[in-house]
């Protein structure tokens, strides 16, 4: 890709993105990691061809606005801001932005979303089974539950008429899908959907062994977006990205 890329956020994912782009011979135009960097490099940033963002729920939306206002296509993997999704999508539409957002850029996780939806459809007729989601991440992860866990819940709820919403557990709430969040050491990310009854249990799990799947999926989205302008959830397009 012969384009100047800006990396917004220089944590574990930002550094992984940098390493992958260098391996692929892509020019890294800028790395922006804080408000001071924005002030210092704003004029230079406006010469960016495309940006990729992994920051925090508190800073993400302002980062998006800056990219939209500057007319710079953006890929983001930050989660924890989806309560403002309608606002962000409206900003993107008004500025005719090109924007890919997603709770998880791993192909394995995307396949789990599809499996989970089918799992819910199969189990919808067996009301003796209760459903719950467990997610485990490193202790420095900012949001809980994880964006991936919320996406899993959103893929289940349309299939399970007996559940009307999800919630962060404990406690248990009638007609609500519990999500249990665990923060352990340097855990990369594990998500499990379980249906259980007094007789037996069935589970499906996605466990990330490292961040390579996340990095590679995000970089593929970065390569794909310039040739496909528009606004996309990664879950809608991941099968089109090679």
- Please say if 141 is a catalytic residue: yes
Alpha helices in the chain (DSSP H): 12-23, 35-45, 57-70, 85-94, 107-123, 147-156, 212-224, 234-237
Please state the rounded mean pLDDT for residues 9-23.
Answer: 97
Q: What is the pLDDT of residues 51-67, one digit of tens each?
A: 999 999 999 999 999 99
The pTM score is 0.91
Sketch the domain layout of the chain as residue ranges: 5-105+212-240, 107-207
107-207 maps to which CATH number? 3.30.360.10
For residues 124 and 163, what is the distance between their CA atoms, to the nearest angstrom?
10
For domain 5-105+212-240, is the CATH number 3.40.50.720? yes
Q: Tokens 């729920």 sit at which residue? A: 57
- Please say if 47 is a catalytic residue: no
Q: Which of 137, 191, 206, 220 is catalytic?
A: 137
Q: What is the pLDDT of residues 219-237, one digit of tens each?
A: 999 999 999 999 999 999 9
Q: What is the pLDDT of residues 85-97, one digit of tens each?
A: 999 999 999 999 9
Q: Which of 3, 15, 141, 228 is catalytic?
A: 141
């Amino acid at each position: 890709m012969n384009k100047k890329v800006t990396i917004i956020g220089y944590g574990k994912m930002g550094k992984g993105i940098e390493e992958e782009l260098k391996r692929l011979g892509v020019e890294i135009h800028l790395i922006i990691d804080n408000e001071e960097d924005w002030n210092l490099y704003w004029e230079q940033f406006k010469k960016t061809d495309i940006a990729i963002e992994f920051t925090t729920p508190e800073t993400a939306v302002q980062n998006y606005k800056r990219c939209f206002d500057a007319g710079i296509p953006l890929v983001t993997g930050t989660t924890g801001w989806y309560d403002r999704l309608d606002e962000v999508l409206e900003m993107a539409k008004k500025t005719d932005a090109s924007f890919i957002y997603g709770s998880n850029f791993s192909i394995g996780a995307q396949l789990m979303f599809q499996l989970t939806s089918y799992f819910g459809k199969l189990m919808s007729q067996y009301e003796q089974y209760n459903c719950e989601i467990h997610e485990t991440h490193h202790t420095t992860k900012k949001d809980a539950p994880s964006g991936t866990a919320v996406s899993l819940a959103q893929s289940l709820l349309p299939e399970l008429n007996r559940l009307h919403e999800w919630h962060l557990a404990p406690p248990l709430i009638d007609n609500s899908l519990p999500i249990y969040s665990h923060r352990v050491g340097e855990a990369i990310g594990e998500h499990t959907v379980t249906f259980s009854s007094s007789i037996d249990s069935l589970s499906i799990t996605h466990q990330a062994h490292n961040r390579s799947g996340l990095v590679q999926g995000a970089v593929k989205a970065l390569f794909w977006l310039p040739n496909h302008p528009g606004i996309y959830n990664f879950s809608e397009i991941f099968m089109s990205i090679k």
